[in-house]
Amino acid sequence: MSDSPRDKTEMFNANVTVDFGEKFASSDLFNKVFREGMALVEETASYLDGPGRRDSRDLPRPVSIAYATESMRLTTRLMQLASWLLLQRAVKEGEMSPKEATEDKYRINLSALKSGEALKIEESLPDGLMDLINRSHRLLDRIRRLDQMLSGEGAPKTPERNVVNDQVNQLEEAFNLLKPGPKQ
């Protein structure tokens, strides 16, 4: 391929699309998010079965109810996130295609995962539980953005015209006008 302006223009015109789903599932980013998500699930289970159980014993009744509510919200959120991560891993391992993973029967509705109404008593909850809740919200935010990108909702809109290509064409026309014509 030569480096003529016409060849460069053709490169700008090429409509090359990259399937983000296929690339993402096999990326280091996915591996990192997967490990982080699964580690958070394990850490939460360990906390709730151990230190969290001890922490909740001495709580006053209203705070104890808030603890139970928040721990249920946390585990539900993490199970949904783990399901999403396992679905993406199935894509990575070739068990299903990225297109199949977006079908309604497999779709994990991450927008339905809301934190719920803030409890006025949250500041009285044990620090260990609050740390896990905050980390699960950050993970949820990251996975929601990834999910939007995978589903095409977060993808930038492709303009009808290629503005860069238009400018290159205008420059070519201007330079062609400036070139002296063939000698007669």
Say what the pLDDT of residue 97 is.
Answer: 85
Q: CA–CA separation, 15 vs 25, rounded Å? A: 23
- Both structure tokens of 166: 């238009």
The one-digit pLDDT tens for each residue of the chain (184 residues) are 455 555 555 555 555 555 555 566 667 888 999 999 999 999 999 999 999 999 999 999 999 999 999 999 999 999 999 999 999 999 888 898 888 888 888 888 787 766 566 666 777 899 999 999 999 999 999 999 888 887 776 555 555 667 777 777 777 777 776 666 665 5
State the CB neighbour count (10 A cutoff) for residue 137. Answer: 14
Residue 134 DSSP SS3 = helix
Which domains does the chain possess?
Answer: 16-158 (1.10.8.930)
Number of Cβ atoms within 10 Å of the Cβ of 72: 11
Do residues 128 and 47 lie in contact, with contact meaning Cβ atoms separated by under 8 Å? yes
User: For tokens 């809740």, what's the residue?
Assistant: 133
Q: How many CB atoms lie within 10 A of CB 70?
A: 21
Residue 173: the pLDDT is 74
Amino acid 95: pLDDT: 93
Integer Cα distance of 138 and 77 in angstroms: 11
How far apart (Å, rounded) are the C-alpha atoms in residues 115 and 112?
9
